[in-house]
Every structure is written in structure tokens, then in C-alpha cells.
Structure 1
Amino acid sequence: MSERTGVITFQGNPLTLVGPEIKVGDTAPDFAVAANDLSPATLADYAGKVLIIAAVPSLDTPVCDMETRRFNTEAASLGDNVKILTVSMDLPFAQARWCGAAGIEAVQTLSDHAGASFGENWGTLIKELRLLTRAVFVVGKDGKIEYVEYLKEITEEPDYDAALGAVKKLIG
């Protein structure tokens, strides 16, 4: 498995990402994660949809909380052909509890805890912490990557406007 050292930081300290760097034009890699009810979820489950996939370290942190709430709010203006997924290493039970408390209904949270499949395949697994780095991907209906942002500093918020702009170009 490839490693990329020093491409991200946590509070200024360099960390190592495991997995490939995903780029615009790539075919979206598959993943095997768990939904909040412990059912399996893979990329194929979302075929034919435009996807915003946000990788976050933990929903129980302020920036991840803000980011997921923001995407939940934005979902209303995107329509039924767009699905927003937030993937973290949080346990499915913790994700379900957090979603209930935060009133999150439009974003689907997925847990990569069991196998780190998403993290390894999408190049977001932080080797030193076994958490996912903050990253946002937009995947077209054809399964091609249309937008990528790996946050250099994982405590910063993503560029929402750029990600949403990429989605709006795809949905017309």
C-alpha cells in the first residue's frame, strides 16, 4: 500500500496518508463500509447518482460537526439525483446517535471502522492515527471523479463553494 508523507498536517504536525492520491478524471475506487444500521455499503449502492463524499476524522469534533451540518443544509437545494455521504472511523452506533442529536437527515454517514477500506482506497487513511483525513470528493453519475480536495491542515473546513459548484455543473 502506498504512503504519502507530509502531505497533511494536524495542528501543524505532518502526518502520513495511506493509499493513492485520487485525482480528477480517475474512476472512483470502490469501498466497503457500514451504514448506521450495520448493513454493508459499497460504491455500487449509489450508482447513477452524483455523489459528494466527505471524509472526516470524527463527527464528534467541531469542524467535522460544522462540515456535516453544512452539507446537510445544502442538500435541500441539490435534488434527488445527488447523494451526500460522510465517511469516518466513528462506530456506526456513534454516527447514528450524532445524526439524531444533530438533526442530520439528508447526509448519510458511513463507518470505515472495521476495515479502513474507504481510507485505503481513497487515500484518506492517516497512518499515525487510524482516522480519515478531511477530504471532499465529487463523483459524477458515470463514476468519474469530478472534484477533489484533500485539506492540507485537517482542522480546517473544506471549500464548500467549489465542491457544490462541481455538483451544480453535473446536475445542470
Structure 2
Amino acid sequence: MTQTHVQERTGVATVGGNPITLLGPEIKVGDKAPDFKVNKDLMTEVSLADYAGKIKLISVVPSVDTGTCDAQTRRFNVEADKLGDDVVILTISVDLPFAQSRFCGAAGIDKVITLSDYKNRSFGQAYGVLIKEIQLDQRAIFIVDADDTVRYVEYLTEMKNHPDYEAALSALKELV
């Protein structure tokens, strides 16, 4: 069996001030969005192609069960109403689909699509957000246009920090 080499990036992010290693490449504006496989529910996998022709705001959170992740998901759920049918907001974490579903039900999240990277961490490795030490995805925002070109990227350098919501939403509105 051939071992594939996964790029490791150090010195770019922390969890609680402690340095971590991110697995996968750093995605940049102008890159073609990498494909990925994540779970919509326990049995159903989806990929980038399932959202073809849509503008995608991909909100990456370590776990919906934390304050910052909760606030980030709620904020984008509120904004989703103002964006129209050409835009889809995907919140990706390694939480099990059951936990994501329970969280959305309790929080009234009904516009954001939650997807789970729990099975093979495909998204985390493709987008360079998989934390080697704890196998969670580091907080990040990616905006991908209808042609699957990356138009906005924000990698958070500290897990507990909030993303720049205004900058992300402004970049998104330029595409709508």
C-alpha cells in the first residue's frame, strides 16, 4: 500500500495559544476549489459537485458545541435569508451528523447546511484545516464562486477567535 504524503503546516495556528500542525495545502484566492466528500447524514455523502452552479460560503468550525462555533453558525444562518437562491452556506465540522442535527434543531438553524467531515477528514485535508494533534478542523471561511474558483479565504490563527464576518459577507455580496 502506498503512503500518500500530506503537507504539514506549522507556525500558522494555535489552540488556546498552543501551536498546532495543520494538514493539507493552504488554499489561496484564485485557486480552483478542491473537491471533498463529507456526510450530510450518517449514510449520505456529498461533494463539491452537489453544489455546482451555486456560490458557496463554507464556514468551517471545530465543533458546533462551542460558543464561538455556535455564534458563527447562527450569524451565517441569519445572513442566509438576505442572500438569495444562488448562494448556499455550508457549515463543516467533524461533529457527527446526529450532533449537528440536534444542534440545528435546538438553535433554530434552518438556512445553513451542516456537513460532517467525521468519516475521512476529506474536507479538512483538502482545504488545509485539519488539525493533526486533535483531528478537528480549524476555524476558517472560504467563498467559492459558481465556477468553483476560490474568491475569499480566511484561516483563523487562533481557534477561539471569530472570523471577520463583515469582510466575508462583503466578499460574498460582490458575487451575488
Matched, 1:13 2:50: no
Gaps of 5+ in 2: 1-5
Give the corresponding residue for 2:168: 163
CA deviation profile, 1:27-58 (whole Å, cap 9, x unmatched): 00000000035311100000000000011100
Once the two structures are overlaid, the 10-residue window that deviates more, 37-46 or 66-75, is 37-46
**CA–CA distance in structure 2, aligned partners of residues 130 and 42 of structure 1:** 20
Mapped partners of 2:23, 2:43: distance in 1: 25
Matched, 1:49 2:54: yes
Q: Does the residue aligned with 2:76 lie in a helix, a strand or coil?
A: helix
Q: 1:118 aligns with which of 118, 123, 130?
A: 123
Partner residue of 1:136 out of 141, 146, 157: 141
Q: Distance in 2 between matches of 1:73 and 1:36?
A: 23
* Cα drift, residue 118 of structure 1: 0.2
SS at match of 1:77: coil
Match of residue 66 from structure 2: 61
Say if 1:57 and 1:64, in contact at 8 Å, map to a contact too. yes
The AA in structure 2 aligned to 1:79 is: G
Find the aligned partners of 1:18 and 1:67 in 2 and give their Cα distance: 23
Q: Which runs of 5+ in 1 are unaligned?
A: none
Which residue in the other structure is 1:101 paired with? 106
Corresponding residue for residue 31 of structure 1? 36
Q: Is the 8 A contact 1:36 1:109 kept in 2?
A: no
**Matching residue of 2:86:** 81
Give me the whole-angstrom Cα distance separating, in 2, the residues matched to 1:3 and 1:86. Answer: 24
Poorly superposed stretches of 4+, deviation over 3 Å: none
Q: What TM-score, normalized by structure 1, do the two folds share?
A: 0.98
Aligned AA for 1:73?
A: V
The question of whether the paired residues in 2 share the 8 Å contact of 1:49 and 1:83 is answered with yes
Q: Percent identity?
A: 59
